[in-house]
Amino acid sequence: MPAATDDTTDSRMLGGRSAPEFLRRHWQKEPLLVRAALPGCRDAVSWREVAMLAMRDDVESRLVVRHGARWSLAHGPFRRADLRALPTRNWTLLVQGVNLHLAAADRLLRRFAFLPFARLDDVMVSLAAPGGSVGPHFDSYDVFLLQGAGRRRWRYGRQADLTLKPGLPLKILRRFAPSRDDTLGPGDMLYLPPSFAHDGTAIDACVTYSIGFRAPAANELAMAFLDWLRDELALDGRYADPDLRASGEPARIGTTMQRRCAKMLASIRLDRDGANRFLGAFLSEPKPSVFFTPPAPMSSLASFRAAARRRGIRLDLRSQLLYDDRRLFMNGIAHRWPSSGAPLLRRLANERALPGVAVAAAAPAAVVLMYDWYRDGYLHADT
């Protein structure tokens, strides 16, 4: 489905506000409750689909059960018997990255295309029995909480004290002082900025979609950069000291050695282009659990082009295609813009699919690049 970015769609989903107005007044500033934001989302995914994902070892899932004042946390994958043995109340099953596996969840994520794809993270789906909750907590990132089937009560508010209760398997606030109390029904949506305390409790058996956003910590970004630099770095030469003199203090690191090694390290430069290449690779890198499967049988370039012209192409649900002025970034790999075909590739990145008529008019260099992505399993001829 093409990204929904027109003003009418944004306005309806944001309670009559345009996307610029929402960003100006609410984004990372104030919560927003929207009634009937997406009425059709009630049956976006089924309980069975989400439960089946929780049984897979390539999907992150958690089960939270409240026993009075006590909490338990278990990590998936779960067995069918585990889920059948759950009590009638007070549990929540959380499944991460549902958009990577179910097209309906990916379409839901793309409804938020008025925000950069580089900031969108994933759709987490929580299935909850009546009374199910994960306790009062806060997130370090923006989140849209969209109610599917059933009802959930949300208590939330800004508070300065974000200390956590010690000794619990969950990050639960020691003190919780909500200023708002709202019950969300199917299609209702609550936006919360980072660090707003909140607690959601299922009134009925319910489904809640959490659309989360990437907000890497500075240290996470730095560590990822150092990993990237290790693969990119290629310094010439080797330490040498032909003028070395005998030392009366063999344990001492001499100033000459310090100076020479500092000079070698000073050759490492981070210019703006290098920083941009790293950022594009980092933001488009698939999650560790994601693996792509090449097509079998694999079509030739000519067969791929013919099929794409007939049926169009679409990115795999797990693919992340981003770009800047100089490069395309597909799943952590940087590509220079081809000599021709840039507008079509930008369209593919933004809409995540191309009709056959667009592929038929594509420049040969763009088709070759798309064919390479097809061979890696990053995109498919649409069906």
- pLDDT tens for 44-102 read 899 999 999 999 999 999 999 999 889 999 999 999 999 999 999 999 999 999 999 99
Sign of the dihedral through C-alpha 241, 247, 253, 256: negative
Q: Is the pLDDT of residue 368 over 70?
A: yes
In the chain, CATH 2.60.120.650 covers 7-213
Q: Residue 9: what pLDDT?
A: 58
**Two tokens at 369?**
């690049």
Classify domain 7-213 by CATH number: 2.60.120.650
Measured CA to CA, the distance from residue 358 to residue 84 in angstroms comes to: 48
Q: Residue 7: what pLDDT?
A: 44
Average confidence (pLDDT) over 339-345: 94
Q: Is 328 helix (H, G, I), strand (E, B) or coil?
A: strand
Q: What percent of the chain has pLDDT over 70?
A: 97
More confident residue, 324 or 6: 324
Q: Residue 43: what pLDDT?
A: 79
Average confidence (pLDDT) over 331-359: 96
Q: Is the pLDDT of residue 143 over 80?
A: yes
**CB 121, CB 209: distance < 8 Å:** no
Instruction: Express each pLDDT in 8-39 by its tens digit.
Output: 456 889 999 999 999 999 999 999 999 999 98
Average pLDDT, rounded, for the chain: 93
Shortest CA distance to 373 belongs to which of 326, 324, 316? 316
Measured CA to CA, the distance from residue 191 to residue 179 in angstroms comes to: 15
Q: Is the pLDDT of residue 281 over 90?
A: yes
pLDDT bucket at 383, cuts 50 / 70 / 90: low
Burial tier of 368 (Cβ tally within 10 Å: 0-12, 13-18, 19+): middle
* Strand-pair category, 120-128 with 70-75: unpaired
**CB 378, CB 314: distance < 8 Å:** no
Q: Residue 102: what pLDDT?
A: 97
**CB 343, CB 297: distance < 8 Å:** no
Average confidence (pLDDT) over 120-146: 97
Which residues are within 8 A (CB) of 228 and not within 5 positions of it... i.e. 6 or more apart? Answer: 278, 281, 282
pTM: 0.90
